[in-house]
Chains A and B, each alone.
Chain A
């Protein structure tokens, strides 16, 4: 079903916040889909990286409820391929930061199995905690 989008103060504020946190000029995105085509994790995502960019551009806060921003591993494949030289990984980080700065934790550290903690290298744990916990 087609969705009606209304630009109002709230959506404009949301767009501005993401632009400010990411430092990216999100409206430069042409929606060419190169980022989505090269993303190694797209099969696991509910919306593609280019859909994420479009939703932010329209100030659609429903993007906050999607899985995609939590699955970006910052591999920067899209970053080096974007014809507009945009960094989608920074936009994903901006969305994560909006949640994390409200004391939200994507990973519950207590729930990581002990046997996993024994074998995981520190860089995996520190990297995940930096990106996915407040």
Chain B
């Protein structure tokens, strides 16, 4: 299956290991990501003010590229746009939902983009990689597991952007299960814990580091107390706040014990028996290699 794929900025820089592990693991289950030609920034955060139409331009241009890919034969009748980054997923989805509801906004946007060949018609659907996996069936993952992760207890961290608000969320906002099903299909054990959908502080990390340190400490300590060896996420901003910021947490709370935070696709690539270059654990701030070795999992 060939599907249009939107990477976003962070997957081409600090989260390269997220992208590579996702693309290669997807191939094993018969999905080919076709990168959107001329993609542009999604804007990171959704436009919230009722009169703010302008900030929907960037998302809509990306959706026009999907229509062009269909027109040019790069994909065949596939108007779903696949995302990996939770922020991109949320921002693109919210823009798409807004213009579907407010046709006046869509008219204004189309009128503004006079250099585009095609008008946007609201027909693109934004989806997350986890949704495609669920659609294909988790048994497809199970069948491809070459390396057992059965010794590994994983805390699924959903964060905010995959679940909220309700009209874009991929699962129940309070009791999601999609990550748990995914982890089980990889042969590992999902951990039940309280903070799986608690906010990490998001962009407040830029000017309110201390808030992110407090939230991170709460989230990570809960994961450890619930028996987790490792945390998985699909958001590069959560990954930064929960992984890199552990050095700031440690500076404030010296008794704090580190816990690795990785992208779900890295563990997928690991379970599928893909190489070290693809799992990309060197890209994580806290490298999980030592932990994995202690669980008898070869990298």
Residues of A within 8 A of B (CB): 20-23, 40-41, 43-44, 71, 73-77, 79-80, 87, 89-90, 93-94, 97, 106-107, 112, 116, 119-128, 130-132
**Pairwise interchain contact A22-B49, C-beta atoms closer than 8 A:** yes
**Pairwise interchain contact A128-B87, C-beta atoms closer than 8 A:** no
Distance of A25 from chain B, by nearest CB (Å): 12
- Which residues of B are found within 8 Å of A44, using beta-carbon distances? 208, 211
- Which residues of A are found within 8 Å of B211, using beta-carbon distances? 41, 44, 71
Contact A74 B202, CB 8 Å, known A121-B10, A123-B9: yes
Q: 6 A-B pairs, CB-CB below 8 angstroms?
A: A21-B49, A44-B208, A80-B173, A97-B49, A124-B240, A127-B203
Q: Residue among B8, B50, B163, B215 with the most chain A CB within 10 A?
A: B50
**Pairwise interchain contact B204-A73, C-beta atoms closer than 8 A:** yes
Contact A121 B165, CB 8 Å, known A73-B199, A74-B202, A76-B160: no
- Which residues of B are found within 8 Å of A94, using beta-carbon distances? 49
Distance of A76 from chain B, by nearest CB (Å): 4
Contact A80 B165, CB 8 Å, known A123-B237, A130-B45: yes
- Which residues of B are found within 8 Å of A76, using beta-carbon distances? 160, 164-165
**Pairwise interchain contact A124-B237, C-beta atoms closer than 8 A:** yes
Q: Is the interface of B mostly helix, strand, loop or mixed?
A: loop
Distance of B57 from chain A, by nearest CB (Å): 13
Indicate whether B117 reaches chain A with its CB closer than 8 angstroms.
no
Distance of B83 from chain A, by nearest CB (Å): 13
Q: Which residues of B from 31 to 49 have beta carbons under 8 Å from A?
A: 41, 43-46, 48-49
**Pairwise interchain contact B50-A127, C-beta atoms closer than 8 A:** no
**Pairwise interchain contact A123-B85, C-beta atoms closer than 8 A:** yes
Residues of B within 8 A of A (CB): 8-10, 13-15, 41, 43-46, 48-52, 55, 85, 87, 160, 163-166, 169, 173-174, 197-199, 201-208, 211, 214-215, 236-237, 240, 244
**Pairwise interchain contact A75-B202, C-beta atoms closer than 8 A:** yes
Expressed in whole angstroms, the Cα–Cα distance for A23 and B198 within the complex equals 26
**Pairwise interchain contact A71-B240, C-beta atoms closer than 8 A:** no
What 6 pairs across the A-B complex have the smallest Cβ distances?
Answer: A75-B199, A127-B203, A23-B50, A76-B164, A93-B48, A128-B206
- Which residues of B are found within 8 Å of A80, using beta-carbon distances? 163-166, 169, 173-174
**Pairwise interchain contact B208-A121, C-beta atoms closer than 8 A:** no
Query: What residue of chain A has the Cβ atom nearest to residue B218's Cβ?
Result: A40
**Pairwise interchain contact A127-B49, C-beta atoms closer than 8 A:** no
**Pairwise interchain contact B10-A122, C-beta atoms closer than 8 A:** yes
- Which residues of A are found within 8 Å of B169, using beta-carbon distances? 80
Contact A73 B203, CB 8 Å, known A22-B49, A40-B215, A126-B44: yes
Contact A124 B49, CB 8 Å, known A80-B173, A130-B43: no
Expressed in whole angstroms, the Cα–Cα distance for A132 and B15 within the complex equals 24
- Which residues of B are found within 8 Å of A23, using beta-carbon distances? 49-50
Expressed in whole angstroms, the Cα–Cα distance for A20 and B51 within the complex equals 8
**Pairwise interchain contact B207-A127, C-beta atoms closer than 8 A:** no
- Which residues of B are found within 8 Å of A97, using beta-carbon distances? 49, 52
Expressed in whole angstroms, the Cα–Cα distance for A116 and B207 within the complex equals 10
Expressed in whole angstroms, the Cα–Cα distance for A41 and B198 within the complex equals 10
**Pairwise interchain contact B160-A75, C-beta atoms closer than 8 A:** yes
- Which residues of B are found within 8 Å of A131, using beta-carbon distances? 45, 203
A sample of 10 more A-B contacts (CB under 8 A), given A80-B163, A123-B203, is A40-B215, A73-B204, A77-B198, A121-B10, A123-B87, A123-B236, A124-B206, A127-B45, A127-B237, A130-B45
**Pairwise interchain contact A107-B199, C-beta atoms closer than 8 A:** no
Expressed in whole angstroms, the Cα–Cα distance for A40 and B241 within the complex equals 15
Distance of B182 from chain A, by nearest CB (Å): 22
